[in-house]
Amino acid sequence: MSPDRTRVAVVGAGAVGLSVATELARCGVDVTLYDRGDPGSGSTGRAAGLCYDAYVDRTDARLAARSLERFRELGVLTDRPYVWVAREGDDHAVAAIREQAGRMRARGRTISVLDPVALADRFPAIETDHLAVGAVASNAGYVDTDAFVAAMVDRARAAGVALRTDCPVSLGTDGELIAPDHTTSPDSIVIAAGPHTRALAAAAGHSLAVGTYRAQVLVAEDIAADPPIFYDASARFYLRPADGSVLVGDGAHPYEGDPDEYDRTADSAFLTDSVTRVETTLGQSVTVSRSRAGLCTATPDRDPLVGCLAPGLFVATGWHGHGFMRAPAVGEQLAKQVLGGEGIAHFDPTRFDGDEPIDLPTGIVD
């Protein structure tokens, strides 16, 4: 290694950490990527893998569209329309879908608005009785998160990233990173450690306005139909297909405990409610094969904290369940900022003092 070569430590080998580490290494940076477990063993491995560019905000839409390109390049994306609906009597959700769709189209997104008859014709797998309106995003799909992690680990290693697994670290207040077998002071540190990010930043002397909540999913088997990616804005749940099954998500609850000690199993009430919702949506009985829970992070304004927290210290957290789908593009942009380029101004992590109240989700993250 050249003595003047930039050294960066990335903490967290999830979707964002893998992406930023790989981009930095491709730019000639000496990168060490640390994870307390295996790559993708945290929030990434428990993500639903939904991907779409149906965002009203320009920054979100741009990042999501770029990430879809990267997922396709990796060969891990299954293209599938994303449909979100509102039910009869839910006037607020009906108006919101129509308003959102118009603003998304103004951002260059390919979005259509359909009545129940048109929805039934285009998506016969979905029961449209009692639906009022639906919107469809064409540029969408879902990703096998395990396949993504495996592909990115290969790319990271090929780019020269030194990957340290089963290696929990802590940070000091003078820019040092403390691993079980060594202490180092790299030129920059990037913290992309999911629900552990807040504590790591605090150890380095910085307070982050980020909270944690627990989200649940189940997998239902023996699905006769082939549905689109689907979100019910009235019943507040989503589902996405996967080889004759569907993955169903709902049930977000605030969590304030140790990020390593949360209950990783789904609640019985979540399982019962979700089965009813899926059977109503697909018009058939289903069998639950497995379920799980994972931790997500949130911020006061629902936008993530991404960028420079202090000289030589960068963070990426607070995704509200939408981190995976934007990870490749965020990784690209954050790598540029670490190397002196512009960050994502909208996501500046210093926009909060760190002690602001956070309205954590109590239902599905939309």
Measure the CA–CA gap between 315 and 197, rounded to whole angstroms. 8
Domain boundary among 277, 298, 319: 298
pLDDT in tens, 269-311: 999 999 999 999 999 999 999 999 999 999 999 999 999 999 9
Residue 11 reports pLDDT greater than 70: yes
| Sequence-distant (≥ 6) Cβ neighbours of residue 82 within 8 angstroms | 50, 52, 54, 136, 137, 140, 228, 229, 230, 231
Alpha-carbon distance 135 to 299, whole Å?
A: 27
Q: Residue 2 has what pLDDT?
A: 46
CATH number at residue 168: 3.50.50.60
3-class DSSP assignment, residue 105: helix
Please answer whether residues 330 and 316 qualify as being in contact, where contact means their C-beta atoms are separated by less than 8 angstroms: yes
The verdict on 228 and 338 lying in the same domain is no
Is 70 domain-assigned? no
Domain presence at residue 98: no
CATH code of residue 216: 3.30.9.10
The pTM assigned to this predicted structure is 0.94
DSSP assignment letter at 266:
P
Residue where one domain finishes, among candidates 280, 298, 316: 298
3-state helix, strand, coil split of the chain in percent (to 5) is: 30, 30, 40
Kindly state whether residues 240 and 314 are assigned to the same domain.
no
* CB environment 156-181: b (16+ within 10 A), e (fewer): beebebebbeebebebeeebebeeee
Specify if 365 maps to a domain.
no
Range of the domain at 173: 7-47+145-208+300-351
pLDDT at position 251: 62
Judged against a pLDDT cut of 80, whether residue 121 lies above it is answered with yes
3-state SS of 283-327 is CCCCEEEEEEEEEEEECCCCCCEEEEEECCEEEEECCCCCCHHHH
Whether residue 21 sits in one domain with residue 11? yes
Residues 154-181: tens digit of each pLDDT: 999 999 999 999 999 999 999 999 999 9
Q: Round the average pLDDT of the chain to a whole number and report it.
A: 94
Q: Tell me phi and psi for residue 57, to 5 degrees.
A: -70, 135
Asked if pLDDT for residue 4 goes beyond 50, the answer is: yes
How far apart CA 141 and CA 121 sit, in angstroms, is 20
Residue 314: half-sphere exposure toward Cβ, Cα within 13 Å: 34
Q: Is the pLDDT of residue 362 over 80?
A: no
Which token pair is 258?
Answer: 């140790």
Q: What is the mean pLDDT of the segment spanning 149-157?
A: 98
Cα separation, 242 vs 150, whole angstroms: 19
Same domain, 281 and 216: yes
Q: Flag whether 131 is in a domain.
A: no
In the chain, the amino acid numbered 81 is P
The number of residues making up the chain comes to 366
Cβ contacts of 65 within 8 Å, gap of 6 or more: 53, 139
What CA–CA distance (Å, rounded) separates 280 from 126? 9
Q: Facing residues of 229 across strands?
A: 82
Are residues 34 and 163 both part of a single domain?
yes
For residues 194 and 217, state if they share a domain.
Answer: no
How high is the pLDDT of residue 224?
A: 85
Asked if the structure places residue 253 within a domain, the reply is yes
* 306 lies in some domain: yes
In this structure, the answer to whether residues 173 and 286 fall within a common structural domain is: no
Residues in contact with 220: Cβ distance below 8 Å, sequence separation at least 6, in sequence order: 245, 246, 248, 275, 278, 286, 287, 288, 289
Q: Are residues 149 and 293 both part of a single domain?
A: no
- Confirm whether 240 is domain-assigned: yes
Residue 320: count of CB within 10 angstroms of its CB: 19
The verdict on 225 and 274 lying in the same domain is yes
Domain shared by 163 and 224, yes or no: no
* pLDDT number for residue 366: 34
* Residue 366 neighbours by CB distance under 10 Å: 15
Residue 314 lies inside a defined structural domain of this protein: yes
Type of residue at 163: L
Asked whether residue 284 falls in the same domain as residue 223, the answer is: yes
- Cβ neighbours of residue 161 closer than 8 Å, sequence gap 6 or more: 21, 22, 25, 31, 32, 33
Q: Say whether both 218 and 197 belong to one domain.
A: no
Structural element, H or E, at residue 241: strand 237-242
* Number of domains the chain is built from: 2
